[in-house]
Structure 1
Amino acid sequence: MDLHTSLLFAGASVALYLVPGPDMLFLFGRTMAHGRRAGTWAAIGINLGSYVHLCAAVTGLSALVLTSATAFAVVKYVGAAYLLFLGWQAFRSKAGFAVSTGRPAATTAQHLWQGFLNDVLNPKVALFYLALLPQFINAGDPHSVRHLLLLGLIASAIGLVMSLGYVGLAEKVTRAVYRRPAAVKWVNRTMGMLFVGLGLRLATQKL
């Protein structure tokens, strides 16, 4: 695998990470509700979750899930239920935003674990690895596993950098909203509706 292929893959990964999805929304919600530190740990959790999908894709477990209607349905509905739960939490939240100076309402481990679950329970991430990685591996490559792992590490590194960028952006948005307390409940409701919408879409969508 040459440098040109690696750079092309990196560009494709950046483009795909720019598409809004559950992970991006989760990072915005976590940062706006609990501050930059919480968002950062959530981003690390999401990044760790990506390695689960990478290992599954390389070993063929993701392909097994995606070709088994029962196994895929379990992953899909559990993920949808988790998104709906996050939406319900946002709806019932009445507290103001805790900007980076505030104390997170949850522990570091909880933010990390929730970010991890948010990524692992998203079957679209499995599709990302299954659909994109093989496009950059030559047929008959004797080192295909090594190259797949390398591409996966590149994608995960890019994802972590972009996730931290989303956290920084969310903190700036939070500071702007923080000056208008009346806007807090509307932001909470908007985040709640987005999570619920993503959960319902995941539950009803056929991939």
Structure 2
Amino acid sequence: APQSRRALVWRGVVLNILNPKLPLFFVAFIPQFVPAGSPISLLFELGLGFTLMTFVVFLGYAALAARGRQHLLHSERAMNWLRRTFAACFAGLGLKLAAESA
């Protein structure tokens, strides 16, 4: 079922907070850039900077994907190319599956 934008954003936030890779990255990578004896707030500043840069990059990806989607859906030539590519991929996977020995 379609979800509201707010629900999708909230789901993404919760998913990223609960994702164990992100806290492990911050614990393993960012402390290398914090001098010994400096306050913990510097670690939080670096983490916040990384988070903000990532957010901006992902917004750019989303805008590019939305623009590309519209272009792709309205181009009959591109849609025919995609259909043929997917058909070839599925045919190849089918042949590979048929050639597999049990």
Q: Does 1:138 align with 2:35?
A: yes
Q: Does 1:125 align with 2:19?
A: no
Distance in 2 between residues matched to 1:154 and 1:116, nearest whole Å? 17
Segments of 4+ moved more than 3 angstroms: 180-184
Distance in 1 between residues matched to 2:48 and 2:19, nearest whole Å? 19
Residues 78-125 of structure 1: CA distance to partner in whole angstroms, max 9, x if unpaired? Answer: xxxxxxxxxxx9xxxxxxxxxxxxxxx321221112211331232111
Q: Shift in Å at residue 140 of structure 1?
A: 2.1
CA RMSD in angstroms comes to: 2.4
Distance in 1 between residues matched to 2:26 and 2:17, nearest whole Å? 13
Higher relative contact order (CA 8 A, sep 6+): 1
Gapped runs of 5+ residues in structure 1? 1-88, 90-104, 187-207
Distance in 1 between residues matched to 2:23 and 2:48, nearest whole Å? 15
% of aligned pairs identical? 30
Distance in 2 between residues matched to 1:146 and 1:114, nearest whole Å? 28
Give the count of matched residue pairs: 80
Q: Does 1:151 align with 2:13?
A: no
Distance in 2 between residues matched to 1:127 and 1:153, nearest whole Å? 15
2:35 alignment partner, SS class: coil
Gapped runs of 5+ residues in structure 2? 87-102
Query: Normalising by structure 2, what TM-score?
Result: 0.65
Amino acid at match of 2:28: A
Distance in 2 between residues matched to 1:149 and 1:132, nearest whole Å? 13
Amino acid at match of 1:137: V
Residues 133-179 of structure 1: CA distance to partner in whole angstroms, max 9, x if unpaired? Answer: 101111122x2x11011111111110111111111111122112212
Query: Normalising by structure 1, what TM-score?
Result: 0.34
Larger Rg: 2
